[in-house]
Amino acid sequence: MTETGFQAEALPVDPPVVAPSNAVGHDLMSKFDPLIAERQALLDSGVTDPFAIVMEQVKSPTEAVIKGRDTILLGTYNYMGMTFDADVIAAGKAALDEFGSGTNGSRMLNGTFQDHMEVEQALRDFYGTSGAIVFSTGYMANLGMISTLVGKGEYVILDADSHASIYDGCKQGNAEIVRFRHNSVEDLDKRLGRLPKDAGKLVVLEGVYSMLGDIAPLKEMVAVAKKHGAMVLSDEAHSMGFFGPNGRGVYEDQGLGGEVDFVVGTFSKSVGTVGGFCVSDHPKFEAIRLACRPYIFTASLPPSVVATAAASIRKLMTAHDKRAALWRNARMLHGGLKAMGFRLGTEQPDSAIIAVILDDQEQAVMMWQALLEAGLYVNMARPPATPAGTFLLRCSLCAEHSPEQLERVLAMFRAAGEATGAIG
C-alpha cells in the first residue's frame, strides 16, 4: 500500500482521456425550462410577476409603496401588526448597540447570547411549558423537529395538505411516511390502525392551513392519535397570537393544553420578525439540541432579531384588544366578499386567512394584477402550493387594518371581480 491507500499496480499506466473542451454534457438546469417558459409568457403578456414583488418602502404594518404607488398590504402574515411596535423596535436597536449585528456561530458553539436565552424564556412563559428551542426559521423548526424525532422503523403520519416544511422534514429523516386525507379524522384513525402497535409514531398536524385558512379538528385528531399510542406535533404558525384565551393557538382554543406533545411556531407571522421554535413539556426535550442537525449546523439568529422577538412575545401575552380587532377584521372582509358572490375557501371566517378561489390561472393573474394596480397587494397562489387545480388569491388580515381600509379593499375587490368575470 502507498501512503494514499491505493496499491501502486492499480494506478492507470496511460493518462486519463480528457473530454474536448467543447463537449456538451447534461445541463442540470434544463429541467426548469417549463418554469422559465411559463414565467416568460406571463411577463410577455404585460403582467407584473406575482412572485417578484419589491417593497420600495414600508410605512406601517398595513401600508407600503410598490411600483411607486401607495398600496394596502393584505398578504404579509403580519397578523398582530407588531413590526412597527415602538417597544419591539427599541429592543432590537438596543441589542444592535450592545451585541453587534451577528453571532458568527451556531448555538452549539459561540452563537448563544443573552437574548437567545431571553427569547426562549419568553416562549416558556407564553406557552406555559418547561421547554423551548429556537431555530433560525419556522421552516427549520419543522425540518429539525420531525427529522430528529422520528427515525428508521418509526412512522410519521401527516395531513395530505401539510406545509412544504413538514414534507421536507419527513424526507430529511428515515421514518416511514403515511398520509391521510385532509382534515379527515376517520382516515387518520384507519391509517393509524394499520400500523404496528409497538412502533414509534408521530402525528403531525397544523392548527390553521395556510392556503384556504381552514382549521383542523385537533380535538378529535389528538384523541385518535392517543388511542393508537402516537405522539402529536402541532404546527401553530398561523394561529399563534390570536387563537385561544392566551393566544397560544388552535390547540389551546380547542382545550388541548397538555395533550399536544410538541408545538411548532414561527416568529415571521404574529411575532413580526424572523425565526422558528418548538415548545414542549417532555422531560427529555432538551436532548433535541444534541441531536438535531438543522439546529446544530445553522448559524444562530442575530441578537437584534431575538431581542425583538422576545419583546413582541411578551406583549402578545396581553394583546387582547389586538386579538379582538383582528377577528373583527376577518369577519368584515369575509362577510363582504361573500356577499358580493366570491367563492371563498371557508364558509365562515375561521382564521385570519381568507382565500378567494378563482376559475383558472388566467383569471387569478388578471384579478391579482387589477388589485395591485388599484393599490392592493394580496398573495396569488397556485399548484403545487395549493391543492391540484386550485388557483386563489390569499388575503391575510392584520389587527391594524382600519375599517376604512377594509371598505376600500372591498371596493377594489368588487371592481376587479366584475372586470375579470369572477363575480357577476
Catalytic residues: 210, 238, 269
Query: d(Cα 266, Cα 271) in Å, to the nearest integer?
Result: 8
What DSSP element (H or E) covers 223? helix 218-227
Q: And the C-alpha cell for 232? A: 402529536
Residues 6+ apart with CB under 8 A from 47: 365, 366, 369
Q: What are the φ and ψ backbone dihedral angles of 265, each rounded to 5 degrees?
A: -155, -175
- Contact by Cβ (8 Å): 150, 172: no
Q: What is the rounded CA–CA span in Å between residue 90 and residue 251?
A: 32
3-state secondary structure of 60: strand
Distance, in Å, from the CA atom of 132 to the CA atom of 309, rounded to the nearest integer, reads 14
> Residue 305 phi/psi, 5° resolution?
-70, -50
CA proximity to 209, closest of 198, 217, 201: 217
Q: Which helix (H) or strand (E) holds 176?
A: strand 176-180
Chain-centroid distance of CA 125 in Å reads 23
Beta bridge partners of 396: 353
For residue 66, the surrounding DSSP H or E stretch is: strand 63-66
CB atoms within 10 A of CB 247: 25
Nearest of 93, 266, 234, 113 to residue 162 by alpha carbon: 234
CB 238 within 8 A of CB 207: yes
Cβ contact 278:135 at 8 Å: yes
